[in-house]
Chains A and B, each alone.
Chain A
Amino acid sequence: MSTIVNGAGKVVDFVDQRITASNWLKRNIRKVFPDHWSFLLGEIALFSFILILLSGVFLTFWFKPSMAHIAYEGAYVPMRGVGMSEAYASTLELSFEVRGGLLMRQVHHWGALVFLAAMSAHMLRIFFTGAFRKPREINWLIGVTLLVLGVAAGFTGYSLPDDLLSGTGLRIIEGGMLAIPIVGTYLSSFLFGGEYPGDDIVARLYPLHILLIPGLIIALVTAHLMILWYQKHTHWGGPGKTNHNVAGAPFFPIYVAKAGGFQFIVMGVIVLLAATIQINPVWLWGPYDPSVVSAGTQPDWYVGFLDGALRVMPPWEFYIFDRPITMSVLIPAVILPGLILTPLALYPWLEQKATGDTREHHVLDRPRNVPVRTGIGVAFIVFYILLWIAGGNDFFATILEIPVNWITWSIRIGIFALPPLAFWLTKRICLGLERRDRDKVMHGRETGIVMVSPDGEFSELHAPLSQADAYQLTWHERQLPSDPGPATDANGIPNPNYRAKRVQAKLSRFYFGDVVQKPTREEVEAAHHNGHHDAVEAGHRDEITSGQQ
């Protein structure tokens, strides 16, 4: 045994004699981690966050969270003599007078973009594969909270350097706050320490940015991972992979090596981005001046959809008791985030209503097998992307050489028309894929070889699937719409739960009414006997009458 292994043994021995570590280790060191590319998205989020923490601490060694007014005398000549805040001056110092300072700033900012992108993609993967179902609802909620905290971290960070862009972002936040009825002006006054912008805001955002928000994120990520660990990872179905087991590589050494390696890969990629693609060159924007704005600048991508919502709102304001209610700001800035986050957070329970299912689920869904959920997800993505495009309407107008107003108007209409269309289309595609899977199981794979029968009939030769391949297409559960049952029992006594059951059945029909079911054994056998001729009925209902198998 090498000395390293010996050393590790000594450490384990030391710890074990004090906190019985071996007992826990023995049970966990070979913990199973299933492998799939989509399971890496959450890891990217975690690893980019770690890099953000490291680079962020580096930045704090120079950054001065102060809005005290100074005349710049640093190394960046074009700015000498210009009045600015200490925060902005220290950001210039970080960029120009600290070796690697610019790199760390860019690493920090790129890390933030990657962090939020990875969290979002991770969340979509959880959604589309049904990984949020019981028993993982708590982790879903934690995830939603983390996403919000991530945006808050990004926004507070973006505001710290006190350059022109960060100030403009804060101004828009202030405008949004003012639209809140009754308390708006007070909220703004307390946040900014009086009138906007004042000279307190950077010092106030700073502890939120470097302490409170990262602290909460760390706490929640820890809980997230502990729950994940305890519940064991979900896995895809397949030969030998069921709801009662989990198959994959052992935590030590495979997962440790792969995930540990992946940590370095993620860090490496972010550092390379920071080395080669400039981000937020604050010296070009200049210090914040509330009377100056530079056209064509965009916020970080994760606030783009809110900015877009602000842009496409028609001017809508009305008065209650002679007080203005500015819907054109309230809707995008206050109502829309709530309208997105509430259903997002509650989705696991919404779907549980439809399935009426209280069992544990550890096998993931193929998105096609839950067409309605997949459709809802795609509709949301389309909605989000439209708002995001709206956030760059001036940019797209320049590229497409059309008036901005056209884009704004298209999006105003599209935001209502396209998500339902996307839902419908996605659902059709899913059903089509399900039908194809069903065909394959019943008749085998199409070979492309055309046969002519003795009586001149053409048909394509189908090659039967192997058992493993056929199982790959049929391991999912059969989910049938539920039946509310009779309104009254045999004695004519009304069922008190009937109404609730009917609502549930309705939802369930919405979700599962059109699903193309996998064939039953009898159907497969019959199909094999009849050769290749029988037609497959769409949405065919099987003999099985109720509930799920």
Chain B
Amino acid sequence: MSANNEHNSGHGESEEIARREPDEVAAVGDPIADPGLHHNDERLTDVDPKAGRRAERQVAGMFTLASLLMVGFIVAYVAIGIHPDDPENGVDIGNVQVSNLALGLTLGLALLLVGAGAVQWARSLMTSPEVVHERHELRSDDETRQATLDDWNTGVEETGFGRRKMIRNSLLGALALLPLPAVLLLRDMGPNTGGTPAERKEHTIWAEGVRILTDVTFMPIRAADLEVGSLVNAMPATFEELPEHGPERINERAKSPVMLVRMLPDEIHVAEGRENWHVDGILAYSKICTHVGCPISLYEQTTHHMLCPCHQSTFDLADNGKVIFGPATRSLPQLPIAVDDEGYLIAQSDFTEPVGPSYWERTR
């Protein structure tokens, strides 16, 4: 394709202007006249046939190397097994990593070389000159606009949409109602039983007399098992009775977890009405952050501060779980606890307020 072709190519949209003559004088208000399009200097490959051949070899070399790398990919796929000979042994992570590296390097480099080759080809060898096209204003001319408007009006006129008010209004009414069935269909995305969403938030499976079990191992805990300064994650004994399948278990995991901490009784600043919520300095707090619900986890023994790793809300466990830093607005709910006949820690009741973040229905 020759540059010549450019000049008489096409009409209409992409009509090309001949190379602009430089302006003699600057446009009004401009200090410097437009010197006109500067055509790119010739490339070395344009003037030196040797450089051209070198570039050609480079490009072809890259494409060839890419092919070799793809063969390498196939080899890596076949040769680096990740499946264990004996399924009992399981997979060797090392093999997976090696396979990942080998497959990724060969494929990635192959792609890179195909790309680099194409770009190099375009830059150094393709002969297209710089092209200039004229732009045209995007707006249609007044005549066309008027004609379009007329056509539209004719159409509207033909329907009689403006005159036949009854048809128009009943149609608009029907269309306005159309979203209702669509929205209604989504109704069953949420449950139909079990009260309002807010009501479901008010209860956990903690209740009077429910034993407090260690998390993971689910062992009952005696007061004496806990040393001053320690922290134990715990769950209600009722958790174990929940069905293996279905959402109940995981839903309770999101509501019921508590942390048991023990401190010296005189370190605790007990709020009014909570005097008998602890057992010899053992306190139970909800593990669910009142900010947006992460499980809280970082305990600093000496200060009794509990930090949520998500956004650093900090609660003072010696002071009724009050917020002392961070974005949380509510104290951590405390679970009133006691000891049963056999000396194990139990709950006195469910939480006295909903656990987790604030929500609209939740009053003060």
Interface residues of A (CB under 8 A from B): 26-28, 30-32, 67-69, 75-77, 80, 95-97, 99-100, 102-103, 106-107, 135, 168, 171-172, 174-176, 178-186, 188-191, 193-200, 204, 231-232, 238-250, 253-254, 257-258, 260-272, 274-276, 288-296, 307, 310-317, 319, 322-324, 326, 328-329, 333, 360, 362, 393-394, 404-405, 408, 441, 467-468, 470-471, 474-475, 478, 518-521, 523-524, 542, 544, 549
Can you report 21 residue pairs joining A to B where beta carbons are below 8 Å apart? Answer: A26-B9, A32-B132, A97-B83, A99-B99, A99-B103, A184-B359, A185-B197, A194-B200, A194-B251, A197-B250, A199-B247, A240-B22, A244-B134, A246-B132, A258-B119, A291-B235, A291-B253, A291-B295, A295-B309, A326-B358, A405-B312
**Of A76, A200, A288, the contact of B91 (CB 8 Å cutoff):** A76
B6-41 vs A: 1/0 string, CB under 8 Å? 100110111001001010001111111111111000
Question: Contact at A268–B110, with CB atoms within 8 Å?
Answer: yes
Closest residue to B37 on the A side, CB-wise? A240
Question: Contact at A185–B196, with CB atoms within 8 Å?
Answer: yes
**Of B123, B133, B196, the contact of A232 (CB 8 Å cutoff):** B133
Question: Contact at B135–A103, with CB atoms within 8 Å?
Answer: no
Question: Contact at A523–B31, with CB atoms within 8 Å?
Answer: yes
B338 CB within 8 Å of chain A: no
Closest CB of chain B to A95's CB: distance in Å? 7
Query: By the criterion of a CB under 8 Å from any partner CB, how many residues of chain B are at the interface?
Result: 120
Question: Contact at B250–A264, with CB atoms within 8 Å?
Answer: no
By a CB distance below 8 angstroms, the chain B residues around A242 are 34
Closest CB of chain A to B265's CB: distance in Å? 28
CA distance A437 to B50 in the complex (A): 42
B287 CB within 8 Å of chain A: yes
Question: Contact at A471–B35, with CB atoms within 8 Å?
Answer: yes
By a CB distance below 8 angstroms, the chain B residues around A26 are 9-10
Question: Contact at B29–A478, with CB atoms within 8 Å?
Answer: yes
Closest residue to A518 on the B side, CB-wise? B31
CA distance A192 to B295 in the complex (A): 19
Closest CB of chain A to B350's CB: distance in Å? 15
CA distance A226 to B31 in the complex (A): 38
By a CB distance below 8 angstroms, the chain A residues around B222 are none
B257 CB within 8 Å of chain A: yes
Closest CB of chain B to A9's CB: distance in Å? 14
Question: Contact at B14–A30, with CB atoms within 8 Å?
Answer: yes
Question: Contact at B359–A520, with CB atoms within 8 Å?
Answer: no
CA distance A180 to B190 in the complex (A): 17
CA distance A171 to B360 in the complex (A): 18
Closest CB of chain A to B58's CB: distance in Å? 13
By a CB distance below 8 angstroms, the chain B residues around A276 are 101, 104-105
Closest residue to A311 on the B side, CB-wise? B311
Closest 4 CB pairs of A and B: A275-B104, A175-B292, A240-B37, A261-B118
By a CB distance below 8 angstroms, the chain A residues around B91 are 75-77, 96-97
Closest CB of chain A to B69's CB: distance in Å? 10
Question: Contact at A198–B119, with CB atoms within 8 Å?
Answer: no
CA distance A405 to B200 in the complex (A): 35
B337-363 vs A: 1/0 string, CB under 8 Å? 000000000000000000011111111
CA distance A10 to B102 in the complex (A): 41
B87 CB within 8 Å of chain A: yes
**Of A195, A311, A544, the contact of B247 (CB 8 Å cutoff):** A195
**Of B113, B128, B360, the contact of A324 (CB 8 Å cutoff):** B360
By a CB distance below 8 angstroms, the chain B residues around A269 are 108, 112
Closest CB of chain B to A139's CB: distance in Å? 13
By a CB distance below 8 angstroms, the chain B residues around A240 are 20, 22, 34-38, 132
Chain B 71-104 interface residues, beta-carbon cutoff 8 Å to A: 77, 80, 82-84, 87, 89-91, 93, 96, 99-101, 103-104
Question: Contact at A96–B96, with CB atoms within 8 Å?
Answer: yes
Question: Contact at A275–B108, with CB atoms within 8 Å?
Answer: yes
By a CB distance below 8 angstroms, the chain B residues around A254 are 122, 126, 128
Question: Contact at A31–B14, with CB atoms within 8 Å?
Answer: yes
Known A324-B359, A326-B358: A27·B13 in contact at CB below 8 Å: yes
B68 CB within 8 Å of chain A: no
By a CB distance below 8 angstroms, the chain B residues around A315 are 313, 323, 326-329
CA distance A80 to B251 in the complex (A): 23
By a CB distance below 8 angstroms, the chain B residues around A200 are 189, 247
Question: Contact at B100–A106, with CB atoms within 8 Å?
Answer: yes
CA distance A55 to B197 in the complex (A): 38
Closest residue to A320 on the B side, CB-wise? B360
Question: Contact at B30–A549, with CB atoms within 8 Å?
Answer: yes
Known A193-B189, A295-B309: A261·B117 in contact at CB below 8 Å: yes
Question: Contact at B254–A290, with CB atoms within 8 Å?
Answer: yes
B294 CB within 8 Å of chain A: yes
Question: Contact at A239–B292, with CB atoms within 8 Å?
Answer: no
Question: Contact at A326–B357, with CB atoms within 8 Å?
Answer: yes
Closest residue to A281 on the B side, CB-wise? B93
Chain B 221-254 interface residues, beta-carbon cutoff 8 Å to A: 233, 235, 244-247, 249-251, 253-254
Closest CB of chain A to B357's CB: distance in Å? 4
By a CB distance below 8 angstroms, the chain B residues around A96 are 82, 91, 93, 96
Closest residue to A327 on the B side, CB-wise? B329
Question: Contact at A68–B245, with CB atoms within 8 Å?
Answer: yes
Closest residue to A201 on the B side, CB-wise? B247
Contacts beyond the supplied A324-B363, A542-B29: 5 A-B pairs with Cβ under 8 Å = A30-B14, A247-B130, A249-B131, A268-B110, A291-B257
Closest CB of chain B to A262's CB: distance in Å? 6
**Of A257, A272, A467, the contact of B105 (CB 8 Å cutoff):** A272
By a CB distance below 8 angstroms, the chain A residues around B110 are 268
By a CB distance below 8 angstroms, the chain B residues around A75 are 83-84, 87, 90-91
**Of B12, B29, B37, B197, the contact of A27 (CB 8 Å cutoff):** B12
**Of B29, B250, B297, the contact of A199 (CB 8 Å cutoff):** B250
CA distance A77 to B90 in the complex (A): 5
B270-303 vs A: 1/0 string, CB under 8 Å? 0000000000000000010001111111100000
Known A239-B34, A244-B134: A329·B115 in contact at CB below 8 Å: no
Question: Contact at B198–A250, with CB atoms within 8 Å?
Answer: no
Closest residue to B101 on the A side, CB-wise? A275
Known A257-B118, A264-B114: A191·B189 in contact at CB below 8 Å: yes
CA distance A247 to B129 in the complex (A): 10
Closest CB of chain A to B285's CB: distance in Å? 13
CA distance A268 to B70 in the complex (A): 12
CA distance A518 to B298 in the complex (A): 61
Closest residue to B125 on the A side, CB-wise? A257
By a CB distance below 8 angstroms, the chain B residues around A408 are 312, 325-326
Known A268-B112, A275-B101, A313-B327: A185·B359 in contact at CB below 8 Å: yes
**Of B20, B31, B361, the contact of A520 (CB 8 Å cutoff):** B31
B310 CB within 8 Å of chain A: yes
**Of A198, A270, A468, the contact of B251 (CB 8 Å cutoff):** A198
Q: Which of A67, A238, A471 has the largest count of B CB atoms less than 10 A from its CB?
A: A471
Closest residue to A329 on the B side, CB-wise? B292
CA distance A248 to B58 in the complex (A): 25
